[in-house]
């Protein structure tokens, strides 16, 4: 009898799938999107050809396209978990690219020094913004909006509103590290450039930072309740400053990788990047109010948003449709996340109610046995 009661208690205490998998909802939506695109390709080709959307060469192509925004999205995730936001990352990426290109082609600093100057300039400017945000009560939205406009002006002044051409000095960042590999489906060459490995490495490091370190737990604490975090002995001001410094480092790295792909320093290089990265992070389940989110959710959001553009291009749909699709995905993913939260609360209440009823039944049964 005791074994049966123990088994029932364990079944009651099992968590629902909604609470066990934090990114369950957006992952299912992403899989549904993939299934729809594959089905459309099968229908349009009559099932005579393998769906090119899920061919190895196209999957690697998607990874290449999302590498740079993915790096910056990791930094945005950390900032948003801490309760902040950064609208300046797009123009800062353009500024870093222009500084790096000028350092190589005009100032003749050399490749490595120019890259370091570009990355350090991003860290310095983000640190400056982070200091203002952490030491004042002004909303990060306003400060970073001003930073975005300022960075655009600085970039235009440095390049005299012109392109800064390069001669391929950063081509080693986009060389193929699996030279000779072929796609078994299409027969095309498979390409994995070094910046893809850098992106995946940054994802793993950021996941470890947020999941297994005291610093990561403090970021969540600051985002959840800054006042409570302060009372717990956390230096809230320095924590907020540090997340913007990390974002500056990642924006600098991402900008250099983007410059290596385009090979031209131009103001439009990072245009709209802030919107894409915020959308990726929000789709991944990170809360705008802070305190909630994770890197794996952001990774799903990065792949999801990158896959939309790729699928629209493969289906030969106009760019206007891509904007509509991306906007709808953000709305659906966020709305589904809210439904997920409500379901999670409902399941939690039902489990507690069942547990209380079970305990009450056990106590009544025990009293009857005593009598």
Within a domain: 149: yes
Domain with 71 in it: 55-271
93 CA to centre of own chain: 16
Residue 60 confidence (pLDDT): 93
Within a domain: 60: yes
Question: In angstroms, rounded to a whole number, what is the distance separating the alpha carbons of residues 85 and 82?
Answer: 9
Digit-by-digit pLDDT tens for the chain (371 residues) are 444 444 444 443 444 444 445 677 788 889 999 999 999 888 888 777 788 899 999 999 999 999 999 999 999 999 999 999 999 999 999 999 999 999 999 999 999 999 999 999 999 999 999 999 999 989 999 999 999 999 999 999 999 999 999 988 999 998 899 888 898 888 889 999 999 999 999 999 999 999 999 999 999 999 999 999 999 999 999 999 999 999 999 999 999 999 999 899 999 999 889 999 999 999 888 988 889 899 999 999 999 999 998 998 888 888 788 788 878 877 877 777 667 667 666 777 777 777 777 777 766 665 555 55
CA-based nearest residue to 105, from 47, 181, 164: 164
For residue 11, what are the CA distances in angstroms to 16, 340, 358, 365?
11, 22, 12, 20
Q: Which residue has the tokens 């870093």?
A: 96
Residue 285 confidence (pLDDT): 86
**pTM of the predicted model, to two decimals?**
0.86
Q: How many domains does the chain have?
A: 1
Residue 57 confidence (pLDDT): 92
- Looking only at Cα atoms, what is the longest distance across the chain? 95
Tokens of 116: 């370091």
Within a domain: 324: no
CA-based nearest residue to 117, from 127, 139, 106, 102: 102
Task: Quickly count: other Cβ atoms within 10 Å of residue 197's Cβ.
Answer: 12
Phi, psi of 182 (to 5 degrees): -120, 150
Within a domain: 300: no
For residue 188, what are the CA distances in angstroms to 55, 56, 179, 182, 183?
10, 9, 12, 6, 5
Within a domain: 123: yes
Residue 140 confidence (pLDDT): 95
Going through the chain in order, the beta strands assigned E by DSSP cover 164-165, 264-265
Our CA dihedral for 269, 271, 273, 274, rounded to 10 degrees, sits at 140
Within a domain: 263: yes
Q: Which helix (H) or strand (E) holds 257?
A: helix 236-262
For residue 6, what are the CA distances in angstroms to 195, 275, 348, 358?
52, 51, 20, 11
Question: In angstroms, rounded to a whole number, what is the distance separating the alpha carbons of residues 330 and 322?
Answer: 12
Within a domain: 176: yes
Within a domain: 371: no
């Amino acid at each position: 009898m005791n074994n049966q009661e123990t088994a029932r208690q364990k079944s009651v205490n099992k968590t629902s799938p909604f609470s066990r998998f934090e990114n369950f909802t957006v992952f299912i939506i992403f899989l549904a999107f993939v299934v729809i695109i594959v089905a459309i390709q099968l229908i349009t080709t009559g099932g005579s050809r393998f769906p090119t959307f899920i061919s190895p060469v196209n999957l690697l192509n998607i990874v290449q396209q999302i590498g740079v925004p993915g790096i910056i999205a990791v930094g945005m995730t950390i900032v948003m978990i801490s309760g902040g936001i950064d609208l300046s990352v797009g123009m800062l990426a353009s500024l870093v690219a222009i500084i790096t290109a000028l350092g190589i082609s005009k100032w003749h600093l050399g490749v490595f020094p120019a890259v370091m100057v570009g990355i350090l300039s991003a860290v310095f400017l983000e640190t400056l913004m982070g200091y203002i945000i952490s030491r004042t009560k002004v909303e990060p939205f306003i400060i970073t909006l001003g930073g975005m406009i300022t960075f655009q002006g600085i970039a235009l002044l440095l390049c005299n509103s012109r392109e800064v051409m390069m001669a391929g000095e950063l081509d080693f960042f986009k060389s193929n590290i699996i030279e000779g590999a072929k796609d078994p489906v299409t027969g095309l060459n498979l390409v994995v450039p070094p910046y893809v490995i850098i992106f995946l490495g940054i994802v793993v490091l950021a996941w470890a930072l947020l999941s297994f370190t005291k610093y990561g737990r403090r970021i969540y604490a600051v985002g959840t309740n800054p006042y409570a975090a302060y009372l717990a002995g956390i230096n809230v001001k320095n924590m907020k400053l540090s997340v913007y410094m990390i974002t500056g480092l990642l924006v600098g790295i991402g900008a250099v990788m983007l410059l290596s792909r385009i090979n031209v320093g131009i103001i439009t290089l990072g245009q709209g990047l802030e919107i894409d990265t915020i959308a990726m992070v929000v789709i991944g389940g990170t809360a705008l109010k802070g305190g909630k989110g994770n890197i794996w959710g952001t990774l799903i959001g990065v792949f999801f948003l990158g896959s939309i553009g790729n699928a629209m291009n493969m289906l030969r749909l106009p760019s206007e449709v891509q904007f509509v699709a991306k906007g709808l995905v953000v709305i659906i993913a966020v709305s589904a996340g809210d439904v997920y939260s409500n379901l999670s609360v409902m399941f939690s209440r039902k489990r507690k109610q069942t547990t209380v009823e079970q305990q009450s039944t056990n106590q009544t049964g025990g009293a009857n046995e005593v009598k």
